[in-house]
Structure 1
Amino acid sequence: MGLRTAKEYRDGLRDGRRVFYRGQRVTSVGDHPELTLAVDHSAHCFDIAQSHPELAVADGYSAFYRVPRSAEQLRARGELIETVSRLGGGIIVLKEVGSDAMFALLRTLEGEELERAKAFHERVCRDDLALAVAQTDVKGDRSLAPHQQADPDLYLRIVDEDADSITVRGAKCHTSYSANADELIVLPTRAMGPEDADYAVSFALPVDTPGLDIYVSPYLAGERNEFEFPLSSKHKMLESLTVFDDVRVPNERVFLNRRPELAGPLAIAFVDYHRFTAINYKLPLLDLLVGSASLIAEYNGIARAGHVKDKITQLIAYAETVRGLAELAALRSRPGQDGIQQPDPVAVNTAKYTFAHGFHGAAAKLMDLAGGLLATGPGGEDWANPEIRAVLEKYYAAAVPAEPRLRLRLRLRLLNLIADLTARDYGGYQAVLATHAEGSLEAEKLQIARTYDPTRARAYVSHHAGLA
């Protein structure tokens, strides 16, 4: 078993994968002037093995792929995810989601399919592969089951099979990192009935497999200077529509083949780990919100105002509630199949719901404290022009305790970070992620209702009410 360097990861992307971006075929993802930013961002999951080996290396391989078998190992995984997210500006990097899928496969499958998953997991550890996950089907009419759709390809399905392979057709959307990962794990998106058997499929395959086409979203496109975009000029995550045009998958890579009874349990098992990943990678983002609010209040000279203290206190309570629930999800975890530790589903979904439900209000509080310069402030070209900069230095002075010119520079840089985080397209991206990534608010509420055991609470009520 070994560990790859970031350079080896980048070199591995120069293959025959079919990636399309802004209407054009990309010949090399790692060398494209815009997409290379995302590759550099994802490289953190390889660099961290050198910078934080105590967290990122387990028994000679990447700790992202260590199967958690105790509450402490799950807690350590949360710390690893938080640390790499901190390096990545508050968003996931690459290996986190693929490892979530691996744990779900190992916890759900049985028989020959489980043995295939175990063999794949060993190869992932040995070769230090970066995995993306394709789970969400495009779905078409969401009131209809997969087999009821007018176009049968709106859910990924098996269209042919022989003694050695299956052939699949359809598409998955929201496939983060599929353009710059080594391999892709496909999971079912929902529970399925017997008539949906062709859609109950899971497998893994290299990204350069013939028939696999990846259409990268243009969101956050274009050049970004570091002055105006301190976050999004350094960090980018690629989101894609991933199309399977009669893709052949060898049997040894197939984990679920027309097993509708396992589609729902596998999807839910992935959700358990993926939301645990979510609440831990969101923690640096919450620190950005709280820290920015505290600093901008000082820079604007309003830190002593009662309403300002109240807003900052609310942000602190929001952030610490999510952090506490993240820790609780590991503390209350329990072993499942083959001793694989499962995050507590009530705690993990409550944490994710709390984050998602509170994010937009938290961003609004931060924008309120920062002021209108988030939208009307000067740009990088203005700052670089000495004549214009002199005007800016005069009229955009602040309350920062420093020399006037340094005072202005600090305030404008902080305002640009807040604008990048809340008011510009990266802020919009974060708002959508908060609402829909790792599952919607309604999906999280549904899991809380499904997994909460009311026995103790009801028994307590029955005792005091004399019902028993």
Structure 2
Amino acid sequence: MPARTGEQYLEGLKKDNREIWLNGEQIKDVTTHSEFKGAAHSVAHLYDLQHEHPEVMLTESPTTGDKVGTTFMFPRSKEDLKRIQETSKIWAEASGGIMGRSPDYLNITFACYASRLDVWSRYGNEQGAKNLGEYFNFIRENDLCLTHCIVNPQIDRSVAEAEQGGGEVALRKIGETEDSIIVSGARMLATLAPFSDELVVYPSAGGKGMRPEDAPYALAFSLPMDTPGLKFICRDSYSKDRDVFDYPISARFDEMDAVVIFDDVHIPKERVFLDGNIELFRELTDATNWRSYIVFQAMTRANTKLEFLFGIGHMIADMTGVNQFDHIQEKLGEIWTMKEMTRSALVSSIEGSTTVVDGIYVPDEKPLVALRGLMPNWIPRAMELIRVIGGGGFMLTPSKADLEGPLRGYIDKYYQARNAPAEEKIRLFRLAWDFIGSDLGSRGELYERFYLLDSFRMTAAAYLMADKQKETDLVNNFLNEVTREKVEK
């Protein structure tokens, strides 16, 4: 079928019996529940955007000729990479960069994996590779929305996964039938779970530490969300069931996070991509170029978030007149610099892209890895700067009910800005606080600090991954020149 509309997406969410749990209650319909409906309809809007921008966001399926999402495309030129990025940018702008797990995240992941079935076929995993290729075709042709869970619960990070909780906590294979493997355990952090069609499991960036005895934990597979034995326990909802005037972010964009319980779940063998293959599990992240593609998507969204923060900061400073002060200008200039360095690195990643197998282009990993170490510090810093720029104004903002009440005249007089009426100023301050200071805003800050590894580990990994030959040669050539001049003298 062609790319879905928002209405088709919402109808799909209503058709299964997934076990989504919130506050001890199983949620029957996330499209109408007060704490889920806002995000469900926001994701639906993303699917509608594909049809509003078909020249960018849709492409022709190589198998059916239908129009499918551009983020499922194998990029075969720099122009293709730019088009994929523009698609991600349109989706990111719909939430100001708040929704970190919009559907393009896993669309791009599985396009990356499906473009490297040669890697997935290593070490005798030909059937797993075939399964993955067929699954990719399935999600592309049906325009499915995916969630993933690739981190084991926080029990005791000082020991191996197989040793946590007596070996009965982390997701693992516990048995097999003629048609399926059986898994048990738990995984986190299934962001977007209530609003997804399918759940996928695949190796995390930390898979290199797997030991031979950890084979039951070396898994990759997919499942429909309503598979028997799957249970999703959601964190507190940060969605505000109030007018979007009061909570323009929280009312619409809480993508939710969940722990996934696998209670003796049967995975059909045609849905299994990797089963106990330690060697392949260790290699997949690097050998498939996964990091290049997924950080490309993630930094496109992060750049949008920095753009949004800069816009908020400038508008607040301009309304209140504090942008006349040099210390505020310096703060806004700092956010602008983060935004521009991010944009420049993304341009560099496209211009430095190279081909791998079958003429498929891969973004240059180096500027993206550099950004990945910086971003967990940059976005929280930008949010901190907005708090300073807005100051006490964030604490004293009236609600929509106040504006519609008997004190409207006072509000118009005492809440006005130097260049805007009171209502316009109030809307901006409420938007800013919802973005940086509400419970959803705080979740967003924590998310930026830790998704795709924290700044410390990613920056250390950047050093380990770096090709140091050019720089070493530069120093050695200089030393040799100094030595030569000394001998000649």
Q: TM-score range by the shorter chain?
A: over 0.9
Q: Deviations over 1:253-290 (max 9, x none)?
A: 10000011122333455444322211111222111111
Displacement of 1:338 in angstroms is 4.8
Q: Deviations over 1:14-71 (max 9, x none)?
A: 2111111121011122221221111112113311221111111111211121122333
C-alpha distance in structure 2 between counterparts of 1:94 and 1:147, whole Å = 32
Q: Greater shift after overlay, 54-63 or 442-451?
A: 442-451
C-alpha distance in structure 2 between counterparts of 1:437 and 1:418, whole Å = 23
Q: Partner residue of 1:237?
A: 255
Displacement of 1:167 in angstroms is 0.6
Distance 1:22 1:338, change over 3 A: farther
Q: Which residue type is aligned with residue 74 of structure 1?
A: L
Q: Partner residue of 2:10?
A: 10
Mapping 1:350-369, distance limit 5 Å: 350-369=370-389
Distance 1:134 1:153, change over 3 A: same
User: Equivalent residue of 1:202, what SS?
Assistant: strand
1:443 to 457, 463, 477: 457
C-alpha distance in structure 2 between counterparts of 1:395 and 1:88, whole Å = 31
* Structure 1 residue 195 corresponds to structure 2 residue 188: no
Q: Partner residue of 2:87?
A: 80
C-alpha distance in structure 1 between counterparts of 2:462 and 2:68, whole Å = 34
Query: Which segments of structure 1 move beyond 6 Å, counting only runs of 4 or more?
Result: none
2:245 to 227, 239, 248: 227
C-alpha distance in structure 1 between counterparts of 2:154 and 2:329, whole Å = 46
Distance 1:167 1:341, change over 3 A: farther
C-alpha distance in structure 2 between counterparts of 1:206 and 1:446, whole Å = 37
Q: Kindly indicate whether the alpha-carbon contact (under 8 Å) linking 1:134 and 1:172 is maintained by their aligned counterparts in 2.
A: yes
| Root-mean-square deviation (Å) | 1.9
Mapping 1:3-152, distance limit 5 Å: 3-14=3-14, 15-59=16-60, 60-92=67-99, 94-106=102-114, 107=116, 108-110=119-121, 111-152=126-167
Q: Greater shift after overlay, 99-108 or 119-128?
A: 99-108
Q: Kindly indicate whether the alpha-carbon contact (under 8 Å) linking 1:2 and 1:125 is maintained by their aligned counterparts in 2.
A: no
Q: Which residue type is aligned with residue 150 of structure 1?
A: G
Q: Deviations over 1:422-441 (max 9, x none)?
A: 12212201211110123211
Q: Deviations over 1:184-233 (max 9, x none)?
A: 11113332111100000000111111111111221414423322222222
User: Equivalent residue of 1:31, what SS?
Assistant: coil
Q: Kindly indicate whether the alpha-carbon contact (under 8 Å) linking 1:94 and 1:132 is maintained by their aligned counterparts in 2.
A: no
Q: Deviations over 1:62-103 (max 9, x none)?
A: 112112233332232121111111113323363222223313
C-alpha distance in structure 1 between counterparts of 2:401 and 2:150, whole Å = 42
C-alpha distance in structure 2 between counterparts of 1:23 and 1:340, whole Å = 47
Q: Partner residue of 1:334?
A: 354
* Structure 1 residue 383 corresponds to structure 2 residue 403: yes
User: How many equivalent pairs are there?
Assistant: 462
Q: Kindly indicate whether the alpha-carbon contact (under 8 Å) linking 2:239 and 2:251 is maintained by their aligned counterparts in 1.
A: no
Q: Kindly indicate whether the alpha-carbon contact (under 8 Å) linking 1:131 and 1:181 is maintained by their aligned counterparts in 2.
A: yes
Q: Kindly indicate whether the alpha-carbon contact (under 8 Å) linking 2:162 and 2:214 is maintained by their aligned counterparts in 1.
A: yes
State the identity %: 26
Unaligned runs of 5+ in 1: none
Displacement of 1:337 in angstroms is 4.6
Q: Greater shift after overlay, 215-224 or 108-117?
A: 215-224
Q: Partner residue of 2:329?
A: 309
Distance 1:266 1:375, change over 3 A: farther
* Structure 1 residue 408 corresponds to structure 2 residue 422: yes
C-alpha distance in structure 2 between counterparts of 1:396 and 1:150, whole Å = 55
Distance 1:273 1:196, change over 3 A: same
Displacement of 1:105 in angstroms is 2.9
TM-score normalized with structure 1 length: 0.93
C-alpha distance in structure 1 between counterparts of 2:403 and 2:442, whole Å = 25
